Amino acid sequence: MFIILGITIGVAVIVFMSALLSGLQVNFLSRVLNSSAQIQLLPPDQVARPLRGLGRELEDSVVQRPAQRIVSIDQWQKIQQRMLALPGILVAAPTLSGSALAVRGDASRAIGLTGVMPESYFRIIRIPNYIVTGKATLASDEIIVGTQLAEDLGATLGDKLNVQAANGNAAVLRISGLFDLGNKAAIERNSYVSLRTAQSLLGRAGAVTTIELKISDIYAAETLARQIAAANPVRAESWIATNAQFFTAVNAQKSSNTLIRAFVALSVAFGIAAVLVVSVIQRSKDIGILRAMGTTRGQILRVFLVQGGLLGLAGAIIGSCVGIGGLVWYHSLVRQADGSELFPLILDRQLFIVTLILAPLTGLLAATAPAVRAARLDPVDAIRG
């Protein structure tokens, strides 16, 4: 009973921690990837070219990097279609970004203006999920702004803003929705309009500055980005490169989860082995009598191996139930400030299948040494004690 209790606790810890960390990881990834694309395609960097003279190259000792002007991706429609044809790419959304000034009465704020095609862009950046007031619609005269920006301007849903670009173009746009991404910097500056409206305001007819990509395997983003950059006249930045610290934290979380499971499994194995070693010592005379009555070494060996396997299986079944129960209770208890769940409840069937396979195997391996010891006992020595 004590060894089953120990295995139960060990398996429950493994199941609880694995499911908890998986849920937290999915929550972290969804927060990052719902507010940024997995891969961004950008125009290539503008570089200084050295002067060339009559048959020889003339260049200064220092070539300064030129100022990076806002330029469009050359032939972006063809590149977009090429991206959609690649395996693993689910969505390709063109965008145009620039700076503008939002004015309402005496209040004005500098904003980041992003022109998008809602039907594709909102499949990558889930703005509709973060709308707190209004709808995520973008007609030619509509704009979606953050809640903090609206508060700073004293505006609300349905109010009109005078949006002025640096080139002198201006447009009066109606607020169709207010969003809250949970990031103050984003909700006090970011705003979204239709792509054609942004092109008109920024004086960039037919231009886009970014193509946002959504892919099926988020962990293959960096590899895919390098392949795209090598085959197309664009820069490709993956979410792994732009969120390097976050990705490092995710990998560290995975490593810690693996270490926790390994050490818990090791402690369970030593517990089983210790109990069975004591059992062999205490039952030495019984084993000797069985051997004297004709019981073979193989039969003695199987007795202790089966005992270890059954202990592991019983502990795995009970421990899995305890781990699931604890996880469901903890998930219902811990909530965010707004009452929503802190992490999604993920009960992966594969986790339980692996647990029910590995726990009996651990029991068998732990029982190997005691079983071999029992099988090697000499009947006469065992009976004499």
Q: What is the pLDDT of residues 356-376, one digit of tens each?
A: 888 788 878 877 877 787 777
**Whole-number Å distance between alpha carbons of 56 and 154:** 63
Return all residues near 130 (Cβ < 8 A) that are at least 6 apart: 179, 180, 181, 182
HSE-CB of 302 using CA atoms within 13 angstroms = 5
Model pLDDT for residues 246-288, shown as the tens digit of each residue = 777 777 777 877 787 788 777 777 777 777 777 777 777 777 8
**Whole-number Å distance between alpha carbons of 196 and 65:** 32
DSSP for residue 104: E
For the chain, give the percent of residues with pLDDT over 90.
Answer: 31
Q: Name the least confident of 208-222, 238-252, 321-335.
A: 238-252
Looking at every residue in the chain, the average pLDDT score rounds to 83
Domain ranges of the chain: 2-31+247-384, 39-52+66-239
**Whole-number Å distance between alpha carbons of 352 and 360:** 13
Residue type at 140? S
Q: Tell me if residue 38 falls in helix, strand or coil.
A: coil
Return all residues near 301 (Cβ < 8 A) that are at least 6 apart: 371, 372, 374, 375
Alpha-carbon distance values, 67 to 42, 45, 166, 221 (Å): 16, 10, 17, 29
Angle subtended by helix axes 2-33 and 297-333, to nearest 10: 50
Residue type at 333? L
The structure's pTM equals 0.66
Confidence of residue 68 (pLDDT cuts 50, 70, 90): very low
Q: Which value, to the nearest 10 degrees, does the dihedral of the CA atoms of residues 102, 104, 107, 112 take?
A: -10
Q: Name the least confident of 292-301, 341-350, 361-370.
A: 341-350
Return all residues near 266 (Cβ < 8 A) that are at least 6 apart: none
Closest alpha carbon to 83 in 294, 292, 239, 227: 227
Give mean pLDDT, residues 167-175: 92
pLDDT (0 to 100) of residue 129: 85
Consecutive H or E run containing 289: helix 284-292
**Whole-number Å distance between alpha carbons of 83 and 80:** 5
Q: Tell me if residue 203 falls in helix, strand or coil.
A: coil
Q: Is the dihedral of CA 321, 327, 332, 333 positive or negative?
A: positive
Give mean pLDDT, residues 327-339: 78
Q: What is the largest CA-CA distance in the chain?
A: 106
Return all residues near 228 (Cβ < 8 A) that are at least 6 apart: 39, 41, 83, 86, 234, 236
Consecutive H or E run containing 210: strand 210-215
Chain-centre distance for alpha carbon 80: 25
The number of residues in the chain equals 385
Return all residues near 13 (Cβ < 8 A) that are at least 6 apart: 260, 264, 323
Give mean pLDDT, residues 145-169: 92
**Whole-number Å distance between alpha carbons of 263 and 366:** 14
**Residue linked to tokens 């719902």:** 34
Query: What region does 154 belong to: left with phi over 0, alpha with psi -120 to 50, or beta?
Result: left
**Whole-number Å distance between alpha carbons of 183 and 365:** 51
